[in-house]
Structure 1
Amino acid sequence: MTPAINAAKKGKVKYNIHEYSHDPAAASYGEEAAEALGLEYGRVFKTLLVAMNGDNRKLAVAVVPVSVQLDLKAMASALKAKKVAMANPTDAERATGYVVGGISPLGQKKRLPMVLDSSAENYDSICMSAGRRGLEIEMAAADLMKLTGAAMASIGR
């Protein structure tokens, strides 16, 4: 059981777990998950961390489909920050308690500001990391937002 799965259980939301054999040589963890689970790329989301206003101690979480890139300007706007930059992987791991490639938006060590890409509304449920490589959790976007306090905005491009 990962902290992400425990958070979903504790939050009493409907979810499904999907496990697959992770290939350490995979170029993209998210795309690997989509292919392994037979899902369209737009329905599988990746969890990215950004540093706000050049401060590596002020992190926020972006949850976007694996099929797009994070639009840093849109993310900054959603957070009402002057600018954001991708967080250092070490800082991301320290803040979330997860390793890169297995960072889940759920069950993080600290509750960070979070923005979910609005494309999540196009699906009954979305998949995201369940806290380790090769493990995905599927739930409704509304449930993810309820559990994490995430805002929704168009942050992918």
Structure 2
Amino acid sequence: MATIKGRADVARFFQQLPAELGRKVLLGAARAAANIVAAEARQRSISSEVTDAIKVAARREEGRVVAKVQVKGPGAYIAPWLEYGTDPHFITVDESQRRGMSVGKINRSHAEGSLVINGQFVGNTVHHPGARPNPFLRPALDAKEAEAIAAAQTYINARITREGITGPDEPEDTE
């Protein structure tokens, strides 16, 4: 009768495989894909402040790996205006900035909080015509989806070999 040796070792290997894949491979693959999209988003952005604020974050969640291309930090507040544009709207001197002064006095004194357009001081209210959208995030994903998937696959292929899973453990969360 034939005997089987190592059955427990094989079972233990397969039990640990999902955790090891997540730790050493999937998080890095997700980050590799997101980096491709982020690079394209930086190329498409028309604002240097927004370009500098484009970041990649990757983390494990319950049963899955999530990678995000996000706009975070200084300049991030501009991103929705670029991506979606703005409707026409009125701009006024905020009451908290007036320090008891009239708009005319603010404009004459060139105090902070007055309305300035192209170096010219204007009245207490200006009608902004709105801004056309200049999308950069969604088009980056649309344009680089296949390349991002290929980058993830390349990352995975480089780390899963006949000898096993190679490479260092990935950090738990990266932002």
Q: TM-score, normalised by structure 1?
A: 0.23
Larger radius of gyration: 2
Higher helix share: 2
